[in-house]
A and B are shown apart, each in its own frame.
Chain A
Amino acid sequence: MGVKRSRTAMEGQPSSDAAAAQRQSPLMPMFEHFRAELDEHHDRRERIIKASRDITAASKKIIFTLQRIRHLNQDLPAHAVKGNQPYHTTIATQLASVSADLQGLNAYRYSRQISGGCQEWMEAVSFQHYIETATLLSYADARTQIKALDREGPGVELSAEDYVLGIYDMTGELMRFAITGMAMGGSLPTIPASSPQSQPQAQPTDSDTSLMDIDNDQPAPSPTTQRSLLTDMRALRSALESLDARGGPFAKEADKKADVMRTSVEKVEKALYGLIVRGAERPKGWNPDAEFAGGRAVEVEA
């Protein structure tokens, strides 16, 4: 920058320009220290991002396997357990590789970097937990689980935010599971009650689940009181909607995911409507999901 002009500019100065260029900035030692600190920070950050990506990829694969299962409230079939084993190992290895980087001060420093992986993992384990037990995996249990994955290390902390965001994503998997169930089996997957006359649902709060109610969740002496994937999705929707995120970056993300979740619930409702209205005419192998791919062909409020 402007060598020529500064040569003239500096004339009369005790130091010539050449000497000035040679002269080391007195601030160098300070900046060398900063460089070392920042490099350490960036390296750690990148390690965590990489691990997070690998955890995300492995979790997605676990979900693919789970989507091929057709029964609810049962142990996973052996092939699914065996098939997913390597992915679980990957996740445990990746978590262990960064758990030391995510302790103390650094737990929150890099929470944004690990968050993607944690959410995807949450989606996978809560989906698997639902398939096996037809219940929602609690935050406390999920926290214990992810900690336990790092057997020899200090473990990775799961934030409440990542738990909630993972659950939001899990509703999308429930939707896919329900639609596939309807397409393949011709009916919405249901959950048999463990005791007769038991009331399904413990809906914690009032909420607008009334939207497009097809009387499934009304207690009436009919097969429609049967607890199903849809009634569970509605319960989950209601619970998530009653959660007040209280502003901040979390609220922003939660809002976005809430929209997707509502769409998921409605997709299942529309598919179920289609199944009930046109069920008899339905050609074999017809997939209700295709109905929505090309736009909102089905009008429910007819």
Chain B
Amino acid sequence: MADAMIQTGIFEDLQRKIDEDSAVKDALRDIVQTLEKQDRTTQSILSRSHSTPSSDLHTVVSAAQANIDKEIQTIQQLSEVASQHPYYKFNYSWTRTVQDACYSILLCGWLGGFAKGETGQLLTIEDVGSTMKVPVNLKDRDAFHLTIEEYLLALISLLDELARLARNSVTLGDYRRPLQIAQFIKDVHAGFQILNLKNDTLRKRSDGIKYRVKEVEDVVYDLSLRGLLPKD
């Protein structure tokens, strides 16, 4: 029978484990911060779409896409480090930022980026994954990937931004885009309605979609009242 309650080594081992995890966290944080910074730049480029006429939109899109390429390099780095550890052990440290990057890609794609050529296209989760060069919705192995939740949350951010874009398009004299946005938001809204969401972040954020539907419908309504809708 041991004379001391605590065998030597127990707490030393635990501390070592904690320290190791902490080192991983630090390494990840550096990469995530780089990605955050890059994404802020992308966002500021993309926000010019609110004041750019459709005819010049391609300049905004190509500038954003060039910056997204840098983000993708960082995501590659993140993927490499993160894949050495259990995915869900540390994913809290990047999920928010990856979501933001996914949103940038979705918005850029909707505006005609990534060889879509025309506006109004939704990049699927697979599209975003191949753009990011990471797998999506992994189930059979433990490595870095884009999750469905991250994609859906980014999609909701896209709707928020498009509702704003609908109004600003009108200001720019583009009366066609609000119709396109209205249809798009309705399609996504219909999709979200078939999901069985639990009381989580996704549920709370998706509850806001119906307000976006209404916002854009209001814009379309205003245009139709004044006979401003395109007649074709």
Contact = CB atoms under 8 A, between A and B. Distances in A.
Across the A-B interface, the 5 shortest Cβ-Cβ residue pairs: A31-B191, A108-B88, A25-B187, A246-B22, A25-B190
A236 to B, nearest CB: 7
A136 B7 contact: yes
B2 interface: yes
A35 B86 contact: no
A7 B231 CA distance: 15
A28 B194 CA distance: 9
B217 A1 contact: yes
Interface string B175-208: 0000100000011101110111110000000000
B14 A134 contact: no
A105 B141 contact: yes
Nearest to A6: B217
Interface centre among B11, B141, B192 (most CB of A within 10 A): B11
A105 B139 CA distance: 7
A136 B11 CA distance: 11
Contacts of A6: 217, 220-221
A138 interface: yes
Contacts of B138: 105
A105 B191 contact: no
A33 B226 CA distance: 41
Contact of B190 (A28, A136, A140, A163): A28
Contact of B141 (A12, A104, A245): A104
A27 B187 contact: yes
Interface string A23-37: 011111011101101
7 contacts: A31-B191, A42-B196, A73-B1, A134-B5, A193-B3, A236-B5, A246-B22
A165 to B, nearest CB: 12
A144 interface: no
Interface stretch (A93-101, A198-206, A256-264, A278-286): A198-206
B152 interface: yes
A163 B187 CA distance: 48
Interface of A: 1-2, 5-6, 8-13, 24-28, 30-32, 34-35, 37-39, 42, 45, 73, 104-109, 111, 130, 133-136, 138-140, 160, 163-164, 193-195, 198-202, 204, 227, 232, 235-236, 239-240, 242-250
Interface in B84-122: 86-89, 92, 122
Given A38-B148, A105-B141, A135-B6, A204 B11 contact: yes
B191 A239 contact: no
Contacts of A227: 3, 5
A160 B18 CA distance: 8
A227 B1 CA distance: 13
A26 to B, nearest CB: 6
Nearest to B10: A138
Given A13-B179, A244-B18, A245-B18, 17 more contacts: A1-B214, A1-B217, A2-B217, A9-B217, A11-B224, A25-B186, A30-B125, A38-B148, A38-B196, A130-B5, A138-B9, A140-B13, A199-B3, A202-B4, A204-B8, A246-B22, A248-B22
B205 to A, nearest CB: 14
B86 A235 contact: no
